[in-house]
């Protein structure tokens, strides 16, 4: 990495240093969106889309809500030309959607571009030529005046040709390609020269597009460049200032957001940032960032899994699992502390104000983009915590594990995941939990228990409950009558009448209805301790809460005696 000294800053700061965009803290409204997936995105694919794919992708972009779609460079190839003609001739362009086409500033290309649009109701004709210092010096070897003439010649020709096609409502767009490597004063000069030729009005505006063809500066510098242009363009009230950020430095979204604060009105980009080199700005991320600030983005990503599916289908590319809002893992929390905070945040929201979303670690409600809490949010591996495991068991299976039990269950699941080096699914977690704790009936089982209650004349502390129960231990059956000052005490006293040694004491007991089960089973949780103070949990389920408690006690006793078999 000692070659850093061969690089130099290739961008130019504007000739002012006082900017208004730095005083703003959020974007107040969505820009005009223009998808360039079918042009910029398509030309970046290893295998470009065929006609059928482009037609289907165009239809999907309309479904999402794009009102401006750059459909290609029709003069560049027969495929591009045929695609546009098919859209027009088969009446596939909705009335509220405008197609956009790209053209270099060359007569035969401009003429063929207009020819491709015959019959279109609305169209943006996008003229460009490169203006950067490096391109002027190394590629074109032309001075500024010659570069300006390329742009103005094209602008004049577009005026002339458009006058012949009166059936189409044209909107003109100009891009000083490689704007980020162009001196701002020169970019302003060439854009104003084009504006003066097109003579826009507030009723019939032109688009001036500032492409970060190669992202060269930090985002705040790009914002300064945009604001300089915005404040100094001719006929500003008749100009739509458009931005076309690329992502060479990995800050395309930041460029776009700061550029909108600096005066941008419109964004050209692609779904998930597809495009040449490191791609265009990701419109999905931009739109969803606005959404999370309470701004209507004007695009519909409520079914994000389908957006991912369609993109991958058309481009043969994959969406990174950590890509914001859309990746398969962006809502997944494996960390114990994160899981605990999410679970508590979800509970707080349900108890207070469900209309507002403030859940820790989740900047957006997964439901708003078509994702589910089940399997998407709290997920269990060796890094997970007690809160996450308890949350999943409660959410998916209705068992509200007592707080004192959660650490034990959580560490059990972490240990299994650590040993297998695999994530545990919700069903796997519950299967392990059930096998270990729930209705554990071996070697001890109480197959029947009938309770009766004594008169209220009993003194406090005296036995108030009688039980008649059938006990099976290692295959031997015992029919026992016993009494106690409660149901579980009666059962415990009955067990002492068997020839086996049950040496334990109660620690805690809780119960609840299993809310997700329409049959309204009850769940009971019992913790007991052996003579050495080691604690053992058992869980029982039954339609009768009394019998659920008996099952929980039996489960706890069987777990206590797993290491040492019950002895007579």
Sign of the C-alpha dihedral, residues 329, 332, 335, 337? positive
| Beta bridge partners of residue 243, listed in sequence order | 210, 267
C-alpha to C-alpha distance for 332 and 16, rounded to whole angstroms? 45
Q: Which two tokens stand for residue 82?
A: 């045929």
**Rounded distance, CA 398 to CA 285, Å?**
35
Q: Is 244 annotated as a binding residue?
A: yes
Note whether 474 and 429 are within 8 A (CB).
Answer: no
42 is in an annotated binding site: no
Q: Are 264 and 242 in contact (CB under 8 A)?
A: yes
Q: What is the dihedral of CA 177, 183, 187, 189, to 10 degrees?
A: -150
> Looking at the DSSP assignment, which residues form a beta bridge with residue 513?
522
Those residues with Cβ within 8 angstroms of residue 487's Cβ, 6 or more apart along the chain or in another chain: 451, 465, 467, 546, 549, 550
Q: Cα angle vertex 247, ends 135, 100, to 5°?
A: 75
Say if residue 246 carries a ligand binding annotation: yes
The pairs formed by 155-159 with CB atoms below 8 angstroms and a separation of 24 or more are 155/105, 155/127, 155/193, 155/194, 155/197, 155/198, 156/197, 157/107, 157/110, 158/110, 158/125, 158/127, 158/198, 159/197, 159/198
- Kindly give the pairing relationship between strand 239-245 and strand 444-453: unpaired
Neighbour tally for 342: CB within 10 Å: 23
How many other CB atoms sit within 10 Å of the CB of residue 133? Answer: 16
Q: Is 40 annotated as a binding residue?
A: yes
How would you class 281 by CB atoms within 10 Å of its CB: exposed for 0-12, middle for 13-18, buried for 19 or more? buried
Which residues, other chains included, contact 400 with Cβ-Cβ below 8 Å and sequence gap of 6+?
A: 394, 512, 523
Which residues, in sequence order, are CB contacts of 232 under 8 Å at separation 6+? 188
Residue pair 229/241 in contact by the 8 Å Cβ criterion? yes
CA distance 73 to 110: 10
Distance CA(227)–CA(233), nearest Å, equals: 10
Is residue 397 within 8 Å of residue 512, measured between CB atoms?
no
Gap between the Cα atoms of 5 and 3, Å rounded: 5
Annotation: binding site: 40, 244, 246, 280
Residue ranges for the binding site for Mg(2+)? 40, 244, 246, 280
């Amino acid at each position: 990495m000692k070659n850093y000294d061969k690089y130099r800053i290739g961008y130019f700061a504007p000739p002012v240093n006082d900017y208004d965009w730095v005083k703003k803290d959020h974007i107040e409204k969505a820009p005009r969106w223009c998808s360039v997936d079918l042009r910029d995105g398509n030309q970046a694919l290893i295998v470009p889309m065929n006609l059928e794919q482009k037609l289907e992708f165009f239809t999907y972009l309309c479904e999402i809500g794009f009102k401006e779609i750059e459909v290609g460079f029709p003069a560049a190839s027969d495929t591009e030309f045929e695609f546009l003609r098919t859209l027009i001739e088969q009446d596939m362009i909705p009335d509220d959607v405008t197609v956009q086409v790209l053209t270099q500033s060359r007569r035969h290309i401009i003429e063929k571009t207009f020819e491709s649009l015959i019959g279109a109701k609305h169209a943006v004709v996008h003229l460009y030529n490169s203006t950067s210092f490096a391109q002027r010096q190394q590629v074109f070897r032309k001075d500024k005046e010659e570069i300006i003439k390329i742009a103005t010649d094209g602008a004049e020709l577009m005026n002339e040709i458009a006058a012949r096609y009166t059936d189409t409502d044209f909107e003109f767009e100009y891009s000083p390609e490689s704007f980020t490597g162009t001196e701002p004063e020169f970019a302003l000069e060439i854009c104003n020269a084009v504006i003066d030729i097109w003579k826009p009005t507030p009723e019939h505006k032109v688009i001036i597009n500032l492409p970060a063809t190669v992202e060269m500066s930090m985002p705040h510098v790009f914002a300064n460049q945009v604001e300089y242009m915005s404040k100094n363009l001719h006929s500003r009230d008749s100009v739509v200032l458009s931005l076309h950020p690329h992502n060479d430095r990995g800050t395309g979204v930041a460029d776009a957001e700061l550029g909108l604060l600096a005066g941008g009105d419109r964004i050209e980009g692609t779904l998930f940032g597809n495009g040449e080199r490191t791609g265009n700005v990701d419109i999905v991320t931009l739109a969803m960032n606005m959404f999370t600030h309470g701004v209507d983005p004007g695009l519909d990503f409520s079914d994000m899994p389908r957006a991912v599916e369609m993109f991958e289908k058309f481009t043969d590319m994959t969406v990174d699992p950590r890509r914001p809002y859309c990746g398969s893992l962006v809502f997944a929390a494996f960390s114990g502390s994160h899981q605990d905070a999410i679970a508590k945040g979800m509970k707080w929201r349900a108890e207070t104000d469900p209309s507002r979303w403030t859940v820790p670690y989740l900047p957006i409600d997964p439901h708003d983009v078509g994702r589910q809490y089940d399997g998407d949010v709290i997920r269990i591996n060796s890094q997970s915590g007690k809160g996450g495991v308890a949350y999943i068991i409660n959410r998916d299976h209705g068992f509200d594990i007592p707080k004192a039990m959660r650490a034990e269950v959580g560490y059990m699941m972490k240990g299994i995941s650590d040993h297998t080096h695999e994530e545990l699914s919700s069903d796997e977690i519950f299967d392990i939990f059930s096998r270990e704790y729930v209705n554990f009936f071996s070697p001890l089982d109480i197959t029947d228990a009938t309770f009766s209650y004594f008169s209220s004349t009993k003194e406090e502390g005296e036995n108030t409950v009688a039980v008649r129960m059938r006990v099976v231990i290692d295959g031997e059956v015992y029919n026992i009558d016993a009494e106690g000052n409660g149901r579980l005490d009666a059962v415990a006293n009955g067990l002492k009448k068997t020839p086996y040694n049950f040496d334990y004491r109660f620690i805690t007991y809780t119960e609840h209805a299993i809310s997700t089960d329409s049959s309204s089973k009850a769940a009971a949780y019992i913790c007991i301790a052996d003579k050495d103070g080691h604690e053992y949990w058992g869980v029982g389920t039954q339609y009768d809460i009394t019998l659920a408690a008996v099952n929980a006690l039996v489960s706890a006793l069987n777990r206590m005696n797993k290491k040492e078999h019950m002895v007579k």
